[in-house]
Chains A and B, each alone.
Chain A
Amino acid sequence: MASRPRTLYEKIWDAHVVETRDDGTALIYIDRHLVHEVTSPQAFEALKVAGRPVRRPELTLAVPDHNLPTTARVDAGGTPVTIADPESAAQLAALEANAPAYGIRYIPATAKEQGIVHVVGPEQGFSLPGTTIVCGDSHTACHGGLGALAFGIGTSEVEHVLATQTLLLQQSRPMEVRVDGDLGPGVSAKDLILHIIGEIGAAGGSGYVIEYRGAVFAAMSVEERLTVCNMSIEAGARAGIIAPDDTTFAYLKGRPMAPSGADWDAAVAYWRTLHTDDGAAFAKSVVIDAANIEPSVTWGTSPEDVVPIGGRVPSPQDFADESKQVAAQKSLDYMGLIPGTPMTAIAIENVFIGSCTNSRIEDLRAAAAVLKGRRKADTVRWAIVVPGSGLVKAQAEEEGLDKVFTAAGFEWREPGCSACLGMNPDKVPPGERCASTSNRNFVGRQGPGARTHLVSPAMAAAAAVTGRLADVRELV
């Protein structure tokens, strides 16, 4: 069949069009739907009120993650621990009741497979290349690391997917972010995506689906690709995607919900067609040289507020745009920072290693490699490691990483969203700073008044050891 050259995004889109309305809106089939407790109760309630069934319960997977405390889930006698916060408990109970009532697979808080939805989906082989994946959570973009078209949706759309297994969508425009060359030592996927967001801005991807292309992404592990795609939303993009390849297939083979036997061979044959054709056009293209990237940190309250660790806190006058000057001044006030201060002079009191961006086994290995034989500075009041899932936790314990963390003065926790967002007991106190491997440095994100500096896992470990933001390359 002769057809015009298409981008990867366009190929996946085309394969999911059920029909197109006269006004250009397309009805898009959704292959995989992840559900957590925060953005689903109102959707289930609406179904109940309208008497609507769930169209394809086997295409939805439910996991609690946002509200769960990361302390022990069962007591010494093996009895599940009661959630102290009554609102959190009610929300968790709603998911636990709603999922089975509609025939949806539910992974309970006490199961070893439980974790952050965006860690669980790939880990279980539920998330697959070429599929459309949605969740009532903006970091769904994460699954694009497997070559899926994955994006966050609101609760009305959660209801729409449950009832119809489709969404009414306008096609986004394809955008390319190409990074060639090699990342230097100590420069991780997180540093790269922070750098990219700093370059293109928090709205630089607005209206687009970003495809990450070039040698740097081809050389990455699946875990690294998930980290990159995860933060596409922080650049305003609808989704981020990396073409699936042998690395992807090796990662997925044998996972519980991945195809097997003859289905596996058919699936891989199909997945091999999922790449941007030569000559396909992108509506926007950004090219970055990997060699210029240093470990990155944020100074402000937008993920675009990125500087290299060797840099300084900027001044509002450094920005040409007047509204950005105003925003920068507000950020500096909130963050309690003085322009010109070297980033490495900023003391931190808290360290958080976790979140859907950086809680996979490779992230924990990278942090542990820095912490081995070292201890957190006495001025670091609170340091926690929150594995992305029970399976990540078990793997880390098998490798002895938990011992490295606890010997370094970190707390070793149960899986969940934890201190990435202020809705469970893990919060950063007002006015205190946190070196955090999460994805958002918004005002109040880690708790009211909390000051967040986004970093990679290795950089978070370096900050813990030195008690300030530090260049991990000076420690290894």
Chain B
Amino acid sequence: MQPLTRVEGRAIPLGLKNVDTDIIIPAKWLKTISREGLGRGAFETIRSEPGNIFDDPAYTGANILIAGDNFGCGSSREHAAWALGDLGLRVVIAPSFSDIFSGNAVKNGILPVVLPQEAVDRLLEVARAGEPITVDLEDQTVTTTYQDRFTFDLDPFRRHCLLNGLDEVGLTMARGEAIGGFEADRTAAQPWLMRGTAA
């Protein structure tokens, strides 16, 4: 995974609340066995409208998306994160995110930034003015050329993984002994739990 420390660039001021993962990437695009190329289907319904924000030349090359409450709600499809990444987006700023989406985003090097609605409203204005926004994960700040400065929280483990581009599977496989110990205790105490399909 590509590390993420600081992202500076233009932002797409989407602003809508409850942007579900069917909006981010409709189901017909999920028939792939690859993680690549999903940007083609990203926000397909919105992009079918002439003059939509994603095809507005003012936001060409944007690497930040600003949205409303509950971004990424609905389906667990990681294709949503893959599609955003394929569009070149590295940061999504919103007042809140769905739990599953924010986890998927981090695992794909995309930073979900939670800020209060007032801060998001201000950033939407800045984005609409075409001014760049800077997101610094080291300092946990979002700043603008107008001297705005907002700080955000992020779970320390997620921050650590993003800053260092870490692969969680590799990290956990290094804990194989602890997992083996848990399994041995479990097998002794509640063997039926460990049988699964072999029951």
How far, in whole Å, are A172 and B28 apart by their CA atoms in the complex? 32
Q: Does B168 contact A (CB under 8 A)?
A: yes
**Which residue of the partner chain A has the closest CB to B105?**
A154
Q: Which residues of B contact A172 (CB under 8 A)?
A: 99
Interchain CB contact under 8 A, A164 and B179? yes
A157 touches B179 (CB 8 A): no
Q: Are B197 and A42 in contact (CB under 8 A)?
A: no
Contact of B155 among A25, A126, A260, A443 (CB under 8 A): A25
Scan A369-401; emit 1 where CB is below 8 A from any B CB, else 0: 000000000000000000000000000000000
Which of B32-40, B55-63, B132-140, B144-152 binds A? B32-40
Contact, CB under 8 Å: B193 / A87: no
Map CB proximity to A onto B59-80 as digits: 1 under 8 Å, 0 otherwise.
0000000001110011111100
Beyond A87-B32, A203-B70, A206-B99, is A138–B175 a contact (Cβ under 8 Å)? no
A80-128 interface (Cβ within 8 A of B): 85, 87-88, 90-91, 94, 104-105, 125-126, 128
A442-B107 contact in complex given A23-B160, A58-B198, A238-B99, C-beta closer than 8 Å = no
Q: Which of B18, B33, B169, B191 contacts A164 (CB 8 A)?
A: B169
Q: Using a CB-CB cutoff of 8 Å, which residues 69-107 of chain B contact chain A?
A: 69-70, 73-78, 81, 96, 98-100, 103-104, 107
The answer to whether A42 touches B35 (Cβ under 8 A) is yes
Please, which residues of chain A bring their CB within 8 A of the CB of B186?
A: 29
Complex contact B196–A32 (CB within 8 A): yes
Contact of B196 with A126 in the complex, beta carbons under 8 Å? yes
**Segment at the interface with B among A183-191, A251-259, A281-289, A458-466:** A251-259
Flag whether A296 is at the interface (Cβ < 8 A).
no
Structural contact, A125 and B77, CB atoms closer than 8 A:
no
Contact of B190 among A153, A206, A234, A270 (CB under 8 A): A270
Residue of B nearest to A153 (CB): B76
Binary contact track B159-199/A, C-beta < 8 Å → 1, others 0: 01000000011011101101100110010001111111111
Whether B26 contacts A444 by the Cβ 8 Å rule is: yes
Q: A164-B169, A422-B27 are in contact. Are A266 and B192 (CB under 8 A)?
A: yes
User: Is B18 a contact of A29 with CB atoms below 8 Å?
Assistant: no
Does A324 make an interface contact (CB < 8 A)? yes
Give, as a whole number of angstroms, the nearest-CB distance from B94 to chain A.
11
Complex CA–CA separation, A80 to B17 (angstroms): 45
Q: How far is the CA of A50 from the CA of B168 in the complex (A)?
A: 13
Contact A29 B157 (CB under 8 A): no
A277 proximity list for chain B (CB < 8 A): none
Residue of A nearest to B159 (CB): A23
Least CB separation from A262: chain B residue? B192
CB distance from B158 to the nearest CB of A (A): 8
Q: Which residue among B160, B176, B190 has the maximum number of chain A CB atoms within 10 Å of its CB? A: B190
Question: Are A160 and B196 interface neighbours, CB within 8 A?
Answer: no
Restricting to B1-46, which residues have a CB under 8 Å from any CB of A? 15-18, 20, 22-23, 26-28, 30-35, 45
A256 to B195 CA separation, bound complex (whole angstroms): 12
CB pair B104 A154 closer than 8 Å = yes
**Bitwise interface map of A from 257 to 301 toward B, beta carbon under 8 Å scored 1, else 0:** 111100100110010000000000000000000000000000000
The residue among A164, A238, A423 with the most chain B CB atoms within 10 A of its own CB is A164
* Interface pair B30/A423, CB less than 8 Å apart: yes
What distance in Å separates the Cβ of B92 from its nearest Cβ neighbour in chain A? 15
Inside 8 A of B30's CB, which chain A residues have their CB? 38-39, 66, 423
A138-B101 Cα distance, complex, nearest whole Å? 10
* Partner among A25, A66, A126 whose Cβ is within 8 Å of the Cβ of B157: A25
Q: Which A residues are in CB contact (< 8 Å) with B96?
A: 203, 206
Top 3 A-B residue pairs of the complex, sorted by shortest distance between their CB atoms: A154-B78, A152-B76, A154-B104
Between-chain CB contacts (< 8 Å), 12 pairs: A140-B76, A153-B103, A154-B100, A168-B157, A203-B98, A236-B70, A257-B195, A257-B196, A266-B192, A323-B15, A421-B27, A445-B27
B contact set with A: CB distance below 8 Å: 15-18, 20, 22-23, 26-28, 30-35, 45, 68-70, 73-78, 81, 96, 98-100, 103-104, 107-108, 155-157, 160, 168-169, 171-173, 175-176, 178-179, 182-183, 186, 190-199
Extra A-B contacts (6), CB below 8 Å, given A59-B194, A151-B100, A259-B192: A27-B178, A38-B31, A42-B33, A91-B31, A128-B193, A236-B98
